[in-house]
Chain A
Amino acid sequence: MITPTPALELRSIDKRFGSTVALTGASLCVQPGTLHMLLGENGAGKTTLLRIAAGLERPDGGTILLDGAERRWRSRAEAIAGGVGTVEQHFGLVPTMTVAENVALAGPGALTGFSPRRAARTVEEISTRIGLSVDANAVIGDLPVSGQQRVEIIKALAKPPRILILDEPTAVLAPAESLALYEWLRTFVDGGNAAVVITHHVREARANGDAITVLRRGRTVLEAPHRGETEGDVLRAILGEASPGSGLRAGRHAESIASHGDVVLRATAATIADEKGVVRVREASLVVRRGEVLGVAGVEGAGHRELLRALAGRLTPQTGTVEGPDAIGFIPEDRLREALVADFSLTENFILRASGRRRGRIAWRTEAERTARGIAEFDVRGGGPATLAGALSGGNQQRFVLARECDNSPDAVIAESPTRGLDIRASAAALQALRARAAAGAAVVVHSIDIDELLDVADRVIVCRGGQVREVPMRADAIGAALVGVA
């Protein structure tokens, strides 16, 4: 059998963001005339890999081949000229401009004239061709998320691409719209083009794709061009085997459940909006008791972020109530944007916690001693109290944040993806620290992108999907099914 030259091939791509490893030796091979599905949990590196293919990020290592020829994109414009179109998930559109303007932005020309009427006609022409309707003169910010997604797709076709990359295009589309999109994608690839679609839905991938690639923790773990694998195989590749070395699960439940006590965190019919005012959680009710770890699963945009932030007192519910103690430890997902000031010393970063309520003088010597104790207790390596936070490795930064947020025995600890970007050892240490907090009597809430991790660390698991919250059995298949909505 003669293998045709792949339309797009990515070979052993590496990419780091600061101290976080996004991709290590990831690969992807897309044949012409096929619809290729890229799967993996959040944070697995799917988006980064495709941004590299589209010229939006530069790889630290590895090669990009288009029709067998090596390409090095110096800009997004070069990739577009090379025929790589994208449908991005975020930041793809200018929210204050109209649909027609956004589509013209991606179209050809510079000093060529722009006429709103002509641009609107282009939009209508593309939208009728692919069966996605949209008002060309609407301002992007006024459109619902699904409408914005449609504009993204239309925009990608303004300069006809040979390879189309779509980042979770169906996440916000109605079933009939998804169906229409896949029908159109089929005619698109049948014309000799290729498409790569990121999705969380295994069934959707198997039903519509010609080939499947699965990423996990920055590596390609499954390449199945012939669909010989079962749904279970794919799910296992996405979710992974139980992490080695954590050893938390065995014999834990009996001991911890017995010690569960008073309710520490309570949400009652809480409707929560994000910082931009978009409602993300609807009428969620839950309790977390002293001594238990509640695991939270949810794909991006499912509302888990807002739920955790409301429990941590960082967001106020629009309706309903969220009650919690005064002393709460909060571990945000993005350490350098939300938890640490890189060019402050560790002592300064340590006293940062809840410094909005601090009064009077700061006794630096006492604080430095307290920091040193926290550093020792959580085994933070690579520096002392006077070291700058930016000088630590990612794993040690995370240990340091844990040390800070667990200092003074808070009654509750809320952690967003506490193992993101960490290696297995560092992940296990972080989870152990959270378990220890629960054992010491705190209520702990953990969100993770990794189902195995949730099973390791949690006593109970809830799943967020589309703003709804519900408790699920402690089994990988049950959680996975609830996450992708096939249950």
Chain B
Amino acid sequence: MTSGLPRVRGTAAAVFFASIALVAVCIWAAGYDASRAGSAAWNAAFGSPFAFFSGTLKRATPLLTLGIAISVAFRAGVLNIGADGQFLAGAAASVAVALTFSSWPRMVLLPMELLVGACAGAAWAGGAAVLKRRYAVGEVVSTLLLNFVATNLIGYLVRGPLQEPSHSYPQTPQIAPAGRLPILLPGQRLHWGFVIAVAVAIGAWWFFQRTAAGFRMRVVGASPSVAYSAGLIDVGAVQARALIASGAIAGLAGCCEVAGVTYGLYEGLSPGYGYTAIAVALLGGLGAGGVVVSALLFGALAAGADGMQRDAGIPPEFASIAAAMMILGMLIASTVQRARGAAPAPIRSDAGS
């Protein structure tokens, strides 16, 4: 399914700004002060170093990691709609580890949190992979349903086994400082999770461009029939691996969110990150570089939406409308390119040159 997606940066940029413009018109038409909204958004996203590092980049961090998770699955032709559930599984598992072993030194505890978070995400996606391989249950329905299981499991954990000692709030106690990701820049809220996210993006790029296993995933996503006939590739096994890898990355994102931002678990930890990440991945053309750029744009959008709400009283949901329009815009753009018969220029211009 990736073959029809445009990979032209210009198209993505045009779609992004056209969607923003359209939403701006909607905001104006809804009777808000559009210019005040615009400046509020700009200030909240780029207006100061604090806005940029503690707003935009902090907000971009989970979207970047999850965007990479989605693109790993989509590039192999697996429609993982369950990044949200995998994110929550990773978050819950790492909080459990951090609370259980809170006396351990940071050098041991943090890596263990990250590892357990990734494994939990992988296991959550692995359930869907097994259901697909062994029981012929499509990944769209199974990953979707597992999202709700994860959401309710979080609800149970924060009211049951992991609830804070006073038992008055549905949340866990804060994890010990040793279990937290350090702040990246003094005075800012940006944490080491951002570095991990960038490292994951670079790793994904290297994996897809430089390794035989990554190449196999790309072939399977581009054309399962060619993958089997010309490449003698076991399509089902490759797709199962891609789904599990996608889940591991999403679990890592969940771990970074709780260890770097919230320091605890509560209901509503993910405001639909897993779905927004689909827009992030598609707008980035499913390539690592593109996803980094689009995650930054979405981070700015989220920070800007916060600012608009704070300073201009504009509902923050305009940001999710904009994200939806960007997905639809990318779908239109890919149709136009298909109709013209133009093969989209690849972002991966490195390959074979």
**A and B in direct contact, judged by CB atoms within 8 A:** yes
Q: List the interface of chain A (C-beta within 8 A of B).
A: 313-314, 330, 332, 337-348, 351-362, 364, 367-368, 371, 385-386, 388, 390-391
B212 and A352 form a contact (CB under 8 A): no
Find chain B residues with CB under 8 A from A357 CB. Answer: 232
1/0 contact string of B220-263 vs chain A (CB within 8 Å): 00110111111111100000000000000000000000000000
Q: How far is the CA of A388 from the CA of B227 in the complex (A)?
A: 17
Residue B36 interfacial (CB < 8 Å)? no
A330 CA to B230 CA, complexed, in Å: 7
Closest chain B residue to A347 by CB distance?
A: B352
B226 engages A341 (CB within 8 Å): yes
A361 touches B344 (CB 8 A): no
Give the interface of B toward A (CB within 8 A): 3, 209-212, 215-216, 218-219, 222-223, 225-234, 343-344, 346, 349-353
Most buried by A among B210, B212, B230, B233: B230
* Contact between A362 and B3, CB atoms less than 8 A apart: no
B230/A339 in contact, CB under 8 A: yes
Task: Decide: A330 and B212 in contact? CB cutoff 8 A.
Answer: no
> Do B223 and A341 touch (CB < 8 A)?
yes
Q: Are B343 and A388 in contact (CB under 8 A)?
A: yes
Q: A353-B231, A354-B231, A362-B215 are in contact. Are A338 and B226 (CB under 8 A)?
A: yes
Contact B212 A353 (CB under 8 A): no
Bound state CA distance, A371 and B230, in angstroms? 16
Contact B231 A385 (CB under 8 A): no
Q: Is the CB of B222 within 8 A of A358?
A: no
A-B contact pairs, 27 of them (CB 8 A): A332-B229, A337-B223, A338-B229, A340-B226, A341-B219, A341-B222, A341-B223, A343-B3, A343-B346, A344-B219, A344-B222, A345-B346, A348-B352, A352-B219, A352-B226, A354-B232, A355-B215, A355-B232, A355-B233, A356-B216, A358-B212, A359-B212, A364-B209, A364-B210, A364-B350, A364-B353, A385-B353
* Nearest 6 A/B pairs, CB to CB: A347-B352, A358-B212, A338-B229, A356-B233, A356-B232, A355-B231
- CB-based contact A346/B222 at 8 Å: no
With both chains docked as a complex, state the minimum distance between the C-beta of B339 and any C-beta of chain A, in angstroms: 14
> How far apart are the CA atoms of A386 and B234 in the complex, in Å?
27
In the complex, what distance in Å separates the CA atom of A342 from the CA atom of B3?
8
Q: Is the CB of A352 within 8 A of B230?
A: yes
If A341-B222, A345-B351, A345-B352 touch, whether A361 touches B212 (CB-CB below 8 Å) is yes
Which residue of B215, B346, B351, B352 has the most chain A CB atoms within 10 A of its CB atom? Answer: B352
From the candidates B212, B216, B351, name the one contacting A360 in the complex (CB within 8 A): B212
Q: Which single residue of chain B is at the shortest CB-CB distance from A354?
A: B232
Closest B residue, CB atoms, query A341: B222
Q: A368–B229 contact, CB under 8 A?
A: no
A3 to B353, CA, bound (A): 65
Q: For A358, list chain B residues within 8 Å (CB).
A: 212, 215-216
Q: A355-B233, A364-B351, A386-B352 are in contact. Are A341 and B215 (CB under 8 A)?
A: no
Q: Is the CB of A348 within 8 A of B226?
A: no
Contact A343 B352 (CB under 8 A): no
Interface contacts (Cβ under 8 Å), in number, total 98
CB distance from B40 to the nearest CB of A (A): 42
Are A355 and B3 in contact (CB-based, < 8 A)? Answer: no
Known: A353-B231, A354-B231, A362-B215. A386 touches B353 (CB 8 A): yes
Given contacts A364-B351, A367-B352, A386-B353, contact A353 B230 (CB under 8 A): yes
Cα A347 to Cα B3 in complex, Å, equals 17
In Å, the complex CA distance between A196 and B16 comes to: 55
Cβ-defined contact, A362 with B233, below 8 A: no
Q: How far is the CA of A385 from the CA of B349 in the complex (A)?
A: 12
Would A342 and B353 be within 8 Å (CB), given that A361-B211, A361-B212 are in contact?
Answer: no
Most central of A313, A338, A343, A371 by chain B CB within 10 Å? A343
B353 near A355 (CB under 8 angstroms)? no
Residue in chain A with minimal CB distance to B353: A386
Interchain CA distance A85-B101 in the complex, whole Å: 76
Question: Which of chain A's residues have a CB closer than 8 A to the CB of B210?
Answer: 361-362, 364
Give A339 Cβ to nearest chain B Cβ, in Å: 5
Contacts of B218 in A (CB 8 A): 344
Name the A residues within 8 Å of B212 (CB-CB): 355, 358-362
Please name all residues of chain B whose beta carbon is closer than 8 Å to the beta carbon of A344 when the two chains form the complex.
218-219, 222
Residues of chain B lying within 8 A (CB to CB) of residue A356:
216, 227, 231-234
B3 — which chain A residues lie within 8 A by C-beta? 341-343
Report B-chain residues with C-beta under 8 Å of the C-beta of A351.
Answer: 215
Give the residue of B230, B232, B343, B349 whose beta carbon is less than 8 angstroms from that of A390. Answer: B343
Shortest C-beta distance, B313 to chain A (Å), equals: 46
Q: Is there an interface contact between A343 and B343, defined as CB atoms closer than 8 Å?
A: yes
Give chain A residues whose Cβ lies under 8 Å from the Cβ of B228: 314
> A391 contacts which chain B residues (CB < 8 A)?
343
Q: A343-B3, A364-B210 are in contact. List 11 more A-B contacts (CB 8 A).
A: A314-B229, A345-B346, A346-B352, A351-B215, A352-B226, A352-B231, A354-B231, A355-B219, A356-B234, A364-B351, A386-B349
Q: How far is the CA of A431 from the CA of B215 in the complex (A)?
A: 31
Chain A residues with CB under 8 A of B211? 360-362
A342 to B349, CA, bound (A): 15
Considering the chains assembled together, what is the distance between the CA atoms of A347 and B233 in angstroms?
18
Bound form: Cα–Cα A4–B209 in Å: 66
Neighbouring A residues of B215 by C-beta, 8 Å: 348, 351, 355, 358, 362
